[in-house]
Amino acid sequence: MESKNDTMMVSEFILLGIPNTRGQETILFIVFLSFYLCTLLGNLLILAAILSDSCLHTPMYFFLLNLSIVDLGFSSISTPKLLANLWAKSRTISLGGCMSQVFFYHFLGSTECLLYTVMAYDRYVAICHPLRYLLIMNWRVCAVLAAGTWFTSSFHATILTSLTFTLPYCRSNVVDYFLCDIFPVVKLACADTYIIETVSFTNIGVVPMTCFVLILLSYIRIASSVVRMKNAESRRKAASTCASHLTVVCFFFGPCALLYTQPSLSDVLATPIQIFCNVVTPMVNPTIYTLRNKEVQAAFRKIRGG
């Protein structure tokens, strides 16, 4: 229940859910459940294909495996609670549950952002330095890069979560959103939120912007190398290799740019964009990576045949 005593500390929060959807709960439940099940199935198939097929034991697919793990986790941060809200009107979330949503949302979101950057570097080395590719991207380097993305993101998320929940919450406990995120939650704090808001805007802005610039620089070098290739088949193969990665990068950074460079964006636009990031993107990624990827499709055929 909403706290009516300003001196009483909040021990749980109430998520109001998606705004302006009264009477549409059943159809939204069916849609989001379908998306969630497809996300789980698609990413689990990617994991099974990469782990079972020795032909996919390469740096590119090692990072794709990490991305599938991130997508499995990212889609599970808010979707199960959103489904419970839509179906059973279960809007209450404990303080610990709210803290977990904030932590894992920024932990996995940052990990995905860094993984896209590492994958762009992998493509840059493969296309611009093909003869030295296996020497540069050896398994030790790949393990360090992957571990670095997870460790850096956990540090990033720990700082943001700690700053958010060291604030006192002693007034309303009603979060006007469908998940616990920093800005909807800190609105309820009964203390000055300048530090957390400044740190959040800085961190959430700097990390994606730095990653995007590095990805852009990688693809400028890749494009330069592809243009200089004399063999048309080599150009086609290089472009095809990068097309999937570029597509998912656009799906990830496009919504991020809208959400965090336009803080005054209305709920009518911000909420669908956030839902797209949380529910749709993790489902779309496996489809994009397998649509034209003959190696992954061959691995799927082996799984079915086996």
List the pLDDT tens digit at each of the 306 positions of the chain.
444 444 447 889 999 888 878 888 899 999 999 999 999 999 999 999 999 988 899 999 999 999 999 999 999 999 999 999 999 888 999 999 999 999 999 999 999 999 999 999 999 999 999 899 999 999 999 999 999 999 999 999 999 999 999 988 877 899 988 899 888 898 888 888 888 888 887 777 788 888 999 999 999 999 888 888 877 777 777 777 788 888 888 888 888 777 666 655 556 677 788 888 888 889 988 888 776 678 888 888 888 775
For residue 105, CA distances in Å to 82, 88, 232, 236, 293 come to 14, 23, 43, 37, 29
From CA 120, how far away is CA 113, in angstroms rounded? 11
| Phi, psi angles (nearest 5°) of residue 214 | -65, -40
Fold of 16-300: Rhopdopsin 7-helix transmembrane proteins (1.20.1070)
3-state class (DSSP) for residue 163: helix
Domain coordinates in residue numbering, the chain: 16-300
Question: What's the pLDDT at 241?
Answer: 74
**The two structure tokens encoding residue 183:** 């800005």
Q: Which residue has the tokens 């489902």?
A: 283
Quote the CA–CA distance of 282 and 92 in Å, as a whole number.
25
Residue 54, Cβ neighbours under 10 Å: how many?
Answer: 8
Query: Residue 42: which of 305, 295, 282 has the closest Cα?
Result: 282
Q: What is the C-alpha separation between 153 and 204, in angstroms, rounded?
A: 11
Question: For residue 262, what pLDDT is reported?
Answer: 61
